[in-house]
Amino acid sequence: MNNDDTIVAAGRGLALPMAAGEFAVIENIHGTQVVDAWAVSQADPYEYSAMEHTRSVNSSIFLEKGMAAVSIHRRPMLTMVEDSSPGRHDTLLCPCNAPLYKELRCDGYHRSCTDNFHEALETVGVALPFTPASLNLFMNVPVLADGSVDRQPPASRAGDTVVLRAEMDLLLVLSACPQDITPINGADRTPQDVGVRIVDAWPPGSAR
């Protein structure tokens, strides 16, 4: 972990402003933590990362190194320029949410990536009346030949890092997924902290 890292606390969310050309270095400190991610345009919050267009533009159900998550207007928002993980980043499944935890028989309130998204945006004065689909970093959801989706613990390891370049001025919203009932965040079902830092060059020290 880098000393400059901001911590996305286990089970919590964070919104980070990024200028076009800046890089977000996201580190899976403990190895198997899923990070739900969104981009929201600073100029117009109704332009946000859209997984349906991202799959269409990339002809892929996973976001891989070299691919961009695009907006609802199919403009690049975040390009994955580095990935030390085995490269499984789900675009299919929804961010976890209150009805889902009710289905899992949680009594009372359970934190969710959906609530983290809206709470994080609120801290920077932005509100959206809906929840866009999330880019699920490190989330390992293989699609089988019969069309069914499996849900596996992440294949990433402690210290695995993805680097995303902002292609416009945007808010990067991250949620260290609070799911602790299924093993989607690892077999120990314990949400963990994630590290993130915004840098203006990648690799470090290179010219912009």
> Under the criterion CB under 5 A, does residue 35 sit at the interface with Zn ion?
no
Stretch that binds Zn ion, among 48-56, 78-86, 106-114, 136-144 (CB under 5 A): 106-114
Nearest distance from C-beta of residue 146 to Zn ion, angstroms: 26
Nearer to Zn ion, 33 or 41 (CB): 33
Alpha-carbon distances, residue 174 vs 15, 59, 69, 178 (angstroms): 6, 24, 14, 12
> Does position 113 bind Zn ion by CB under 5 A?
yes
29 dihedral zone (left: phi>0; alpha: psi -120 to 50; beta): alpha
| DSSP type of residue 158 | T
Given 8, 14, 26, 96, the residue binding Zn ion (CB under 5 A): 96
CB of 180 to Zn ion, least distance (A): 10
- Rounded Cα distance, 71 and 73, in Å: 5
| First vs last C-alpha separation in the chain | 23
Q: Candidates 79-87, 149-157, 159-167, 179-187 — which segment interacts with Zn ion by CB under 5 A? A: 179-187
User: Is the CB of 12 or the CB of 165 nearer to Zn ion?
Assistant: 12
177 makes contact with Zn ion (CB under 5 A):
yes
CB 37 within 8 A of CB 173: yes
